[in-house]
């Protein structure tokens, strides 16, 4: 079903508004007055609204400036501040109406907790939300270095794997226990990993870009699968974790817009592990890294979760920093995908 863009941008019938106001608001939001006469599906309209959040913020600021004598709003001359004020007052409820009443198959992101949407999913509370980039790779592939490099860029939120919490769950260290006796402790650790990664996906953000170290998806498709296939996780444990994962991904919106894969040989990872000397990692053999590497290769080149950017990561630190800089625009200007 398709609708006139201006009808939903304003939240009222276009015929009830002055001609110049209808087109002025559209120009501010979309940056193209010609788009005012276009028609959009509700899915594409939500994308327009999300892309317009910066313009809305500018209009808010301009409305405040107008009270001090400025007649401008986002570069559009207006005789009074009423148009910008009306825009804010009418656009936000309209956007909420669209995202909560879209046809089945259309998803929206909202601020303020989780709520049931028309699709039947519990939606995460992120009105518009950031562009989400997951940095994936083997143990010691250089993920933390990559994230630290981009963390120096403004308006980027970096979420590292919550390893400290995996080492201390009310005084217990399930990470160390899992490495020491995976058949006994794998289900314990991976249940907590799934919970902690879910919290990261659902946490609110005020940044335009969120970069995450791994994701709830790789936790399942790589590490849980490796434990199961290697015979270190009983079938019943694997079934329980799979049921949880399937329910979460079916009922919650966990958007990923880009996966950056730091493709590193297991041998390079093993050498780096020995140099960084983390206590829990001293018992990790090369064979384990080889298994993780193969699972990553099998999953990432077949998954349909998000576009994939592969960065060869066997190089030294200086060369890797050059690689990150070379891919900066490709990574940070990733467009948001439809929810």
Q: Any idea which residue has 């107008």 for tokens?
A: 66
DSSP-derived 3-state class of residue 263: strand
Residue 213 annotated as catalytic: yes
DSSP state of 104: T
**Rounded Cα gap, residues 224 and 207, in angstroms:** 31
Of 201, 56, 55, 205, which Cα lies nearest the Cα of 127?
205
DSSP symbols for 130-185: -EEEEEE-STTSSHHHHHHHHHTSTTEEEE---HHHHH-BTTB-HHHHHHH-HHHH
C-alpha distances out from residue 43 to 113, 260, 337, Å = 22, 26, 11
A 10 A CB-CB count for 314 gives: 15
Catalytic residue among 65, 67, 183, 213: 213
Distances (CA, A) of 232 to 35, 186, 236, 281, 296: 57, 8, 12, 17, 19
- How many CB atoms are located within 10 Å of the residue 239 CB? 11
Angle between helices 286-300 and 266-276 (to 10 degrees): 130
Element (H, E) at 30: helix 19-30
Handedness of CA 105, 108, 109, 110 (dihedral sign): negative
Active site members: 213
């Amino acid at each position: 079903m398709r609708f006139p863009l201006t009808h939903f941008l304003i939240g009222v019938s276009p015929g009830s508004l002055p001609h110049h106001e209808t087109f002025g608001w559209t120009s501010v939001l979309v940056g193209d007055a010609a788009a005012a006469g276009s028609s959009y599906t509700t899915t594409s309209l939500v994308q327009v609204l999300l892309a317009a959040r910066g313009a809305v913020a500018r209009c808010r600021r301009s409305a405040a400036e107008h009270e001090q004598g400025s007649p401008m709003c986002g570069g559009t001359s207006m005789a009074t501040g009423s148009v910008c004020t009306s825009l804010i007052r009418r656009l936000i409820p309209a956007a909420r109406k669209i995202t909560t009443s879209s046809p089945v198959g259309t998803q929206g992101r909202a601020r303020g907790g989780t709520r049931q949407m028309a699709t039947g999913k519990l939606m995460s509370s992120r009105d518009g939300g950031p562009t989400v980039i997951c940095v994936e790779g083997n143990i010691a592939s250089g993920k933390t270095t990559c994230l630290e490099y981009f963390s120096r860029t403004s308006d980027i939120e970096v979420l590292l794997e919550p390893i400290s919490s995996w080492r201390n769950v009310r005084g217990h260290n399930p990470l160390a226990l899992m490495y020491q006796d995976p058949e006994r402790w794998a289900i314990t650790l991976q249940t907590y990993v799934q919970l902690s990664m879910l919290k990261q996906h659902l946490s609110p953000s005020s940044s335009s870009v969120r970069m995450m170290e791994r994701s709830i998806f790789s936790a399942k498709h790589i590490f849980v699968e490796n434990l199961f296939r290697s015979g270190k996780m009983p079938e019943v444990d694997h079934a329980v974790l799979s049921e949880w994962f399937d329910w979460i991904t079916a009922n919650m919106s966990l958007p990923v817009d880009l996966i950056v894969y730091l493709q590193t040989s297991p041998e390079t990872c093993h050498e780096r592990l020995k140099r960084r000397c983390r206590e829990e990692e001293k018992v990790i053999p090369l064979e384990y890294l080889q298994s993780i590497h193969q699972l990553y290769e099998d999953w990432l080149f077949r998954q349909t979760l998000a576009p994939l950017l592969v960065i060869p990561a066997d190089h030294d630190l200086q060369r890797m920093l050059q690689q990150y800089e070379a891919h900066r625009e490709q990574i940070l200007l990733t467009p948001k995908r439809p929810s």
